[in-house]
């Protein structure tokens, strides 16, 4: 393959372990997004917007109850997706990595998602799953951006490619009766990811992944958004409904509009 040394490094790592973790490609874009969160939170909760952002985010569970969490999260999601330029900033944080792993003609999810996981909260769990199990295209990659340092149970886990392939071959026997049975069948093989603020995680969403109860003392804040090649196959989530082309090149624009001369 005619790829650069860096691209080969990203590719090998992604194929072998199912993810890469790298410094944000545009730290200014990340810090801009973090400020938008603080503005929205301070407006919603009447918190001083000049306070330390990491302190606000890590200890938001002292300001919002578990019963209020989902409504609060949905308000913040609506807020960030209503900010002009937010998705572009999100893309900038991971752009060179996506171009190496996915391609340079990309479609991006229309909305950026947000996870907020309080310490000890069992109501915000994401059971073990692969996105392809529910109709997502295997050609997608997820860009996962933490707003705080995420480690141990404050982060997420992923099942690496080799044990994931073994699971696929033995799925009926190992799935059990519920998601806990499935988790228990893979827990010795999962990899807990450590992603600090200022870093970006890109992972293969066709691999089983999820989270567990956050046993740390701080709240997890992480964004996620899917990207794929514009011309790769789509699953149940189609372009125009769930994805939007963001980096079409001139030859593609010309090709899609091309018509042969009328001969009759």
pLDDT digit string (tens) for 223-235? 999 999 999 999 9
Let me know if residue 114 belongs to a domain. yes
Going by the DSSP 8-state scheme, the letter that residue 99 receives in this structure is H
Let me know if residue 253 belongs to a domain. no
Looking at the structure of the chain, the number of domains it has is: 1
Let me know if residue 119 belongs to a domain. yes
The model's pLDDT over 124-152, given as tens digits with 9 standing for 90+, comes to: 888 999 999 999 999 999 999 999 999 99
Let me know if residue 108 belongs to a domain. yes
Distance separating alpha carbons of residues 231 and 136, to the nearest angstrom? 15
Its pTM stands at: 0.95
Name the 3-class secondary structure at 134. helix
Let me know if residue 59 belongs to a domain. yes
Let me know if residue 236 belongs to a domain. no
Mean pLDDT of 85-93: 98
Which residue range is the domain that position 130 belongs to? 5-231
The domain that contains 148 carries what CATH number? 2.60.120.620
């Amino acid at each position: 393959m005619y790829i650069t040394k860096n691209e080969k490094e990203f590719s090998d790592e992604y194929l072998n372990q199912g993810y890469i973790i790298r410094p944000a490609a545009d730290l200014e874009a990340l810090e801009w997004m973090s400020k938008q969160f603080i503005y929205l939170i301070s407006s919603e909760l009447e918190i001083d917007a000049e306070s330390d952002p990491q302190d606000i985010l890590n200890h938001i569970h002292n300001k919002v109850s578990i019963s209020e969490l989902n409504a609060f999260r949905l308000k913040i999601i609506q807020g960030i997706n209503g900010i002009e330029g937010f998705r572009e900033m999100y893309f900038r944080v991971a752009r060179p990595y996506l171009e190496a792993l996915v391609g340079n003609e990309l479609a991006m999810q229309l909305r950026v998602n947000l996870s907020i996981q309080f310490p000890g909260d069992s109501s915000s769990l994401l059971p073990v799953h692969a996105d392809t199990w529910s109709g997502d295209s295997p050609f997608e990659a997820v860009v996962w951006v933490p707003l705080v340092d995420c480690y141990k149970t404050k982060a997420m886990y992923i099942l690496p490619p080799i044990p994931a392939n073994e699971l696929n071959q033995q799925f009926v026997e190992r799935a059990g009766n519920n998601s806990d049975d499935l988790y228990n069948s893979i827990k010795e093989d999962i990899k807990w990811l450590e992603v600090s603020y200022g870093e970006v995680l890109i992972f293969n969403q066709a691999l089983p992944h999820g989270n567990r109860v956050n046993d740390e003392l701080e709240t997890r804040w992480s964004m996620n958004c899917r990207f794929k090649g514009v011309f790769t196959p789509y699953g149940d989530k189609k372009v125009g409904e769930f994805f939007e082309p963001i980096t079409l090149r001139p030859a593609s624009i010309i090709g899609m509009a091309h018509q042969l001369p009328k001969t009759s």
